[in-house]
Amino acid sequence: MNKSLNVISTLSCSITLCLLYVFNAIIGGFYYNGIVILIMLFMLLNPIANLCRIDKKVINNKIYHIVVTLISIYISYITLKGLNISINKNLLNEASLYFYDRLIIMLIMTIGIILFSFILKKEIVKSHDDNSKIMIILILITSILPFISDSIIYERIFSFTQFVFGIITLIKVNRTNDADELRGYYLATFIIGILSCNPIAIVLSVYMFNGLDKFGLLY
């Protein structure tokens, strides 16, 4: 039962993240706003964090996963409704206002469940997944979205830089066993992520940097 709830909460969080990222791309481009903050907070949730870890810290508390799932469903509903307003009715300002009117409650709920997770017991589950390649591919995908949004020119330049640098990093991950070299690439990915306002790249680069002793090297 706990395993099923964990899978459900992970899936719901992942769907919510995708919807938030697409919504942000459609309504206003890529700059630091409430949606970006919400995306970064969501990536700190235990189900998403475990997707980026080798030594996973699994929470087996049923209430936690139920609450995470309900929060994800609520935020997905708000985001989908905002997407519907912006796409079908072509009213970007109205879609943005609809979402931001409910942003505070979404932020409070997300921060609350993050704080709640700190007091819960966690089970360490070891695996041997090479998550770094998957995370770099995700960064590549998210760096494309600014080109289909109303992003201004400098945002597109940094996003293009992110895309090119992501390809180089992916090649290096497959070819090097130099931890210091990879650490430099992950740090650069983090900096470019900040400049391009890519919350996915920012958080994933931190996960990769911190997990370098666990994965990302050839042995």
Do 212 and 183 contact (CB within 8 A), yes or no? yes
Instruction: Output the pLDDT for position 74.
Output: 97
Of the CA atoms within 13 Å of residue 172, those in its CB half-sphere come to 17
pLDDT (tens place) for every residue of the chain, 219 residues total:
677 888 899 999 999 999 998 898 888 666 778 899 999 999 999 999 888 877 788 888 999 999 999 999 999 999 999 999 988 777 888 988 999 999 999 999 999 999 999 998 888 887 665 677 788 888 888 888 776 666 667 777 888 888 888 888 888 877 766 777 888 888 888 998 888 888 888 988 888 888 765 544 433
pTM of the model: 0.84
Give the pLDDT score at 30: 66
pLDDT score, position 79: 95
**What is the SS3 assignment for 128?**
coil
Confidence at residue 105, expressed as pLDDT on a 0 to 100 scale: 96
Write phi, then psi, for 143 (nearest 5 degrees): -75, -10
10 Å Cβ neighbour count for 30?
A: 26
pLDDT, position 53: 77
Among residues 1, 117, 127, which one has the least CA distance to residue 59? 117
